[in-house]
Structure 1
Amino acid sequence: MNVAERKKQTVVSSGISGLDEILRGGLPASNLYIVQGAPGSGKTTAALQFLRAGVALGEPCIYVSLSQTRAELEAIALSHGWTLDGIRVEELSASDSINRAADQTIFQTTELRLDETRKAIESAIEEHKPSRLVYDSLLEIRLITADSPRFRRELIAFKAFLAQRNIVALLLDTQTSETDRTGEEVDGIAHGVIRLDKSLEEYGGVRRRIEVSKMRGVPVADGYHDMAIREGEGVVVFPRIVPGAAARTVKPQLIKSGVDTLDEMFGGGQESGTTTLVIGQAGTGKSTMASLYATAALKRGESVGLFLFEERIETFFRRSEGLGMALRQFHEDGQLILRDFNPNEISPGEFGQIVQQSVNSEKVKVVVIDSFTGYLNSLPHREKAVRDIQSLLKYLARAGVLTILIVAQHGLLGQGVGIDVDVSFLGDTVLLLRIAEHEGRLRRSITVVKKRHGPHDLDVRELFIQSSGVSVIAYNPLPEV
């Protein structure tokens, strides 16, 4: 299906904006979809969001439940501040006919239970004529069917029944450790398959991901995308960043720091659409360098996004004010977007989306991540985090943003970067800060060791950080001992 045909195709919202983005607009109408996942992965919450989206449009919606009571569904909705108003809940039990079937000698018990369950569902659909339907869950139907062929026939017949009535249906399929994956049974029948993944790492919170493993006729953003279940929001999906989605910058601009001698080291300034790694051990002035560029951009009237992983917002303000950089008013005015994070509570996908949205909505020209080391050290799979941040940096580059990454090093002399993966390739520019002791005083040095775009100064200069501000002068080497 080409782009024009896709635009003509009617789609319905899943009720989850991030999932709709992955689906390029929503679910193709009048089709059957499978939502798979382990218990607790968010299937029921996502299903309620799907039906609530229909209710908001005035559509009749039914939740057919073979596994949960109405009271349980109401409790789930209430936990998010929702109600089931407008959603008809049909409570059925796949075992309702056991007592009646016990006296039968002609029909097998399983066949009678399956037939009566099917009739009850079809009767509810015929009576209420829904536009959207959730069937919870296939596990109960699978358990009462005698074999896989019978289970497949039931699904095919049910799919045809729904298609004749133009119903968009989500069939929830619970995956448990006791049951093997049944994708070979249902994947080929459904128009689309959405999988919710839940895993517990060695430390930190539960990690949740979502994958659209199949969607006929839709060029979905394949692979895993981070997701979360939030009180009051339900399932929240963070689509993986696609660098090509950002508009290309027509003409790079020089971004200055406000300190002439520092700008000279970069050949006049740093270019928009590039990434600068500021590397150094504790006390060398890494965060001060970032604050310097942020302050200069704010004074030029540009917006700045500053994302903290190791420092509280109040600490940042006080440190900046101690150097003559008053930033509180910029923050109150909304020109400075300032966020601090607990790294254990945010996924790479969510962080990337927060940065991306700030750039798109607030026209941010400078982004500071302080520190990238703390961000990586909080994640169990650092190599993947580096790939995720690389996609984010490419997106920011295409959007014409100067990105400053603070990278900490171990020890007083900074032997070795504080992470066990190579990140040097991420930077178009590398600014190296050092500190050394001489005659009872610590001396800071600053060097531009790499700059892909244009010339730069190779000299080592001395960096002064004082209450009056920041200055850079020619470096007088220490005398030989």
Structure 2
Amino acid sequence: MAKRKKQLVVSSGIVGLDEILRGGLPASNLYIMQGAPGAGKTTAALQFLRAGVDAGERCIYVSLSQTASELQSIALSHGWTLDGIRVEELSASEAVNGTADQTIFQTAELRLDETRMAIERAIEEHKPERLVYDSLLEIRLITGDTPRFRRELIGFKAFLAKKGIVALLLDTQTNGGERSGEEIEGIAHGVIRFDKSLEEYGAVRRRIEVSKMRGVAFADGYHDMAIREGEGVVVFPRIVPGSAVEVVKPQLIKSGVEALDEMFGGGQESGTITLVIGQSGTGKSTMSSLYATAALQRGESVALFLFEERLETFFRRSEGLGMDLRQFHKDGQLVICDFSPNEISPGEFGQIVQRVVAENKTRVVVIDSFTGYLNSLPHRDKAVRDIQSLLKHLARANVLTMLIVAQHGLLGQNIGIDVDVSFLGDTVLLLRISEHEGRLRRSITVVKKRHGPHDLDVRELLIASSGISVVSYNPLPDA
């Protein structure tokens, strides 16, 4: 029988984290997972062990801080079981079998020795290939001495290395996580940090950072994450635009309105970003429906991401203009994602867009509105940088992306967000509304187009139940 080949990397049990680590955790090493209480460490640790069970490995969870019933409850909350995972429930403050003659007021030295021996006995007995140690905080409290704590950790690392065990040590951070003089991160092969912050409004924001991983060219920095019922810890790696294959020759994407296409020199180009800017009522969302309808009728796939308009409102507005999109949506050719404010992080949004585009070979993406998307996030300047990476990815995938950007007021001229987004657009389509002799008139202008010729004329945009048309902007006749 052929000897089983030793793995070079093992799965963390979290797909997004494995992607950040370029495949997984280097095998037979010790790792530290740090974070505040409630950050998701225990859930991630269970996912790590469940991945081991799926791979046919023996797994053990050594718990000094949680009971077996508590771990069972966490697993059940996600619809999981602990089948295949050995739970060793220990106490760092109680005597272990064989020390009944000792007083209950044990010295720290004795409690530490007993705890270490109990863990080593469990490992010798069950011979695990994966181990979770929960948590270092209890050992830290027992020792109360930084040099002794470091020596204990180094000795445990050496013991695990001899056994060829991949170990995940959970470390609960308190008081900002600053522990002067410990430098335990240098002992571990890798360090993964969980960050949890509460904004002034909305849900808790969670992020993950691989702060150290020897021998791995991992994606550093923060990555958005969430804890989902039934899924556990879900990580959304930051987008790398270069991962998409760039198409050299763009294609013209038409709107179905000849006069509008002429303004763009024959049509908009695939692989570009168009900002559609205007006040309320100027027809910004109508433009997105127009391009979506034309693409769908050509047999292409379209994705709409709504941050302000409800799905039913979108359908009814489009139908009022003679554009029936319901059947395309039912058939799956038109994908529509309707988001509520503050329910999604930039990282998760980017992953959703990438997945939809890849699975459906989408040609046109509409974000309506980009203003609503930014206003739903606590740090809008950072969100602009995040979405810039997404837009570059879509451009390399030869997708036409339309961003709907609102302006303040009925007749105002200021963009409704306090960060500059104009640099994001290869093309800028400006829609305005003005009053003339008792009538409001809509105008449309292509104020910017990086590639190829375009019309600089100001034309009138007519929106009626019979459809959309663009005509020369002539003065109104005298009454």
Return the letter of the residue paired with 2:317.
Answer: R
* Runs (4+) off by over 4 Å: 98-102
**Per-residue deviation, 1:276:** 0.2
String of CA shifts for 1:334-387, please: whole Å, max 9, x gaps.
111101001311000000110011111111111000000011111111100010
**Per-residue deviation, 1:437:** 2.0
Superposition pairs of residues 116-265 of structure 1, within 5 angstroms: 116-177=114-175, 180-181=178-179, 184-265=182-263
Superposition pairs of residues 308-323 of structure 1, within 5 angstroms: 308-323=306-321
**Per-residue deviation, 1:185:** 2.5
Aligned residue in 2 for 1:352: 350
**1:101, 1:112 within 8 Å by CA — same for their partners in 2?**
no
In structure 2, how many angstroms separate the alpha carbons of the residues matched to 1:157 and 1:281?
Answer: 67
Aligned residue in 1 for 2:3: none
In structure 2, how many angstroms separate the alpha carbons of the residues matched to 1:478 and 1:164?
Answer: 88
Aligned residue in 1 for 2:461: 463
**2:36, 2:194 within 8 Å by CA — same for their partners in 1?**
yes
In structure 1, how many angstroms separate the alpha carbons of the residues matched to 2:367 and 2:181?
Answer: 41
String of CA shifts for 1:167-195, please: whole Å, max 9, x gaps.
11100000012863468431101000000
User: Any stretches of 5+ residues in structure 2 without a counterpart?
Assistant: 1-5
**1:102, 1:109 within 8 Å by CA — same for their partners in 2?**
no
Number of aligned residue pairs:
471
String of CA shifts for 1:380-399, please: whole Å, max 9, x gaps.
11100010011111111111
**1:36, 1:193 within 8 Å by CA — same for their partners in 2?**
yes
In structure 2, how many angstroms separate the alpha carbons of the residues matched to 1:275 and 1:370?
Answer: 14
Return the letter of the residue paired with 2:189.
Answer: H
SS of the equivalent of 1:187 reads: helix
Aligned residue in 2 for 1:5: none
Q: Does 1:272 align with 2:270?
A: yes
Aligned residue in 2 for 1:306: 304
String of CA shifts for 1:406-450, please: whole Å, max 9, x gaps.
000111112200000110000000000011122332210000000
Q: Does 1:289 align with 2:309?
A: no
Residue among 77, 86, 107 paired with 2:84: 86
Aligned residue in 2 for 1:4: none
The percentage of counterpart residues that share the same residue type is 83
Aligned residue in 1 for 2:27: 29
Residue among 9, 15, 34 paired with 2:13: 15
**Per-residue deviation, 1:102:** 5.6
**1:13, 1:20 within 8 Å by CA — same for their partners in 2?**
yes
In structure 1, how many angstroms separate the alpha carbons of the residues matched to 2:127 and 2:367?
Answer: 52
Per the alignment, do residues 132 and 276 of structure 1 end up closer, same or farther by CA in structure 2, a change over 3 Å counting? same
Aligned residue in 2 for 1:3: none
**Per-residue deviation, 1:457:** 0.1
SS of the equivalent of 1:250 reads: coil
**2:16, 2:237 within 8 Å by CA — same for their partners in 1?**
yes
SS of the equivalent of 1:305 reads: strand
RMSD (Å), alpha carbons: 1.8
Per the alignment, do residues 101 and 188 of structure 1 end up closer, same or farther by CA in structure 2, a change over 3 Å counting? farther
In structure 1, how many angstroms separate the alpha carbons of the residues matched to 2:476 and 2:93?
Answer: 86
**2:273, 2:427 within 8 Å by CA — same for their partners in 1?**
yes
In structure 2, how many angstroms separate the alpha carbons of the residues matched to 1:183 and 1:232?
Answer: 40
Provide the TM-score with structure 1 as the length reference. 0.95
Aligned residue in 2 for 1:65: 63
Return the letter of the residue paired with 1:436.
Answer: S
User: Any stretches of 5+ residues in structure 1 without a counterpart?
Assistant: 1-7
**2:264, 2:454 within 8 Å by CA — same for their partners in 1?**
yes
String of CA shifts for 1:72-104, please: whole Å, max 9, x gaps.
111111111111111110000001129858649
Provide the TM-score with structure 2 as the length reference. 0.95
**1:305, 1:368 within 8 Å by CA — same for their partners in 2?**
yes
